[in-house]
Amino acid sequence: RAMELPPSHFPAGRAAAVALGYLRYLRGGPGRGLQLRQLRRARRQDIEDAGHKYSLELELEDVLDKDRTVTCTAEVLYPLGSKSSAPEVQVTVQGELRSTQEADQDFYNRIRSLEKELVAENIPDSHGNVPPHLEPIHLLAWAASGYVIWQNSTENTEFHLAQVKHVKQVKRSDEDLQFDYVVLLHEMVSQEVIPWEVTVLWHPRRGARVSRDRRQPGH
């Protein structure tokens, strides 16, 4: 039996944030930032010996293409027990997202042609500014932190990317771009801001992959 949840109540919102994190990781990148326009519907089902399953209907938008939205259905299963394992997420996107092929290729070429490896910090800065040339770096961090958020979420947490504290490009001999990020994740329930090291590989056709991540020691 599935229980209908008010979309304005936090349990539905937290599950939606997990689904968004997962989707951002899968479909986001330097040319696309997906966020929630509206949570249309949420239901919860307690599955014996498995966990709590949330079924969601979401309306999403690309921050770079706000005139258009896509509908998405998602299922988020938070596993039972104290053993910390990531929620299982399934997402289906109905409709087309704006193509990022050109933007991705431009970004790829630009970074590959840099003489010195890219280094930057505090994105956005204290005043919320992101220099235009660093916007793709910010969006890529947003996509990569989606992975961390998905992997570390429970029904009692809600994570958001607060800031890119530091980013350093690492040149590679293969075709991937590599960025070593230190991001700050804001956890809404405890209100903690947690530094997290995330290494991302990215390629225009292969997308983003987090190859290494860890909560910064001492935090």
List interacting residues with other proteins (CB under 8 A): 6-10, 17, 33, 35-36, 38, 63, 124-130, 142, 160-163, 184, 186, 188-193
Q: Which residue number, 8 or 94, has a Cβ lying nearer to other proteins?
A: 8
Residue closer to other proteins (CB basis): 75 or 135: 135
Q: Looking at beta carbons only, is 36 or 134 nearer to other proteins?
A: 36
Q: Which residues pair with 75 in a beta bridge?
A: 55, 90
Nearest to 88 by CA among 77, 80, 97: 77
> Side chain identity at 14, as an amino acid letter?
R
Whether 150 contacts 21, CB under 8 Å: yes
The candidate with the shortest Cα–Cα distance to 169, out of 133, 202, 212, 206, is 202
Q: Tell me which amino acid residue 45 is.
A: Q
- Residue 59: both structure tokens together: 């309306």
Q: Smaller CB distance to other proteins: residue 63 or 119? A: 63
CA neighbours within 13 Å on the CB side: how many for 89?
30
Nearer to other proteins, 57 or 176 (CB): 57
Q: Which residues contact 70 (CB under 8 A, 6 or more apart)?
A: 59, 60, 61, 93, 94, 95, 96, 97
Q: Is 114 exposed, middle or buried (0-12, 13-18, 19+ CB in 10 A)?
A: exposed
CB of 56 to other proteins, least distance (A): 15
Q: How far is the CB of 184 from other proteins (least distance, A)?
A: 7
Q: Closest separation between CB of residue 160 and other proteins, Å?
A: 4
How far apart are CB 188 and other proteins at their closest, in Å?
A: 8
Residue 42 CA to residue 50 CA, distance in Å, equals 19
The minimum distance between CB 194 and other proteins, in angstroms, equals: 10
Q: How far is the CB of 92 from other proteins (least distance, A)?
A: 22
Closer to other proteins by Cβ: residue 145 or 204: 145
**Distance between CA atoms of residues 177 and 136, nearest Å:** 13
